[in-house]
Amino acid sequence: MPELSRFYGIIIGMYYDDHPPLHFHVQYGEHKAKIQIDTLAVIRGSLPGRALGLVVEWALLHREKLIDRWHAAENHEELLKIPPLS
């Protein structure tokens, strides 16, 4: 999975040729989740509350970049990194 960002032990990534709805993947220790970009709802898996809060905060800051990366992945273009939450 190409990595888009990493912060506080959270890894954010996106796959090429993934299926709608637009989403990104999160790994945090043994936890994994798939997060829908437009609603920021967890559509599969789960994360501890604090980690989910950090992911949502980060995604709100970078929603347009996430949408851009989704379209880049559809076109097999390079997935540029997105700044971490600091």
**Helix (H) / strand (E) containing 34:** strand 31-36
* Cβ contact 13:4 at 8 Å: yes
Looking at the domain assignment, is residue 30 inside a domain? yes
Looking at the domain assignment, is residue 37 inside a domain? yes
Cα separation values, 58 from 4, 36, 74, 76, 77, Å? 12, 13, 22, 24, 23
Looking at the domain assignment, is residue 85 inside a domain? no
Looking at the domain assignment, is residue 84 inside a domain? no
Confidence of residue 86 (pLDDT cuts 50, 70, 90): confident
**pLDDT tens-digit map of 45-55:** 999 999 999 99
Looking at the domain assignment, is residue 16 inside a domain? yes
Confidence of residue 59 (pLDDT cuts 50, 70, 90): very high
Record the tokens describing residue 63, joined without a space: 């929603």
pLDDT at position 63 is 98
Q: 51: left (phi > 0), else alpha (psi -120 to 50), else beta?
A: alpha
**Residue 34 domain boundaries:** 3-74
Q: How many domains is the chain partitioned into structurally?
A: 1
**pLDDT tens-digit map of 6-45:** 999 999 999 998 999 999 999 999 999 999 999 999 999 9
* Cβ contact 2:24 at 8 Å: no
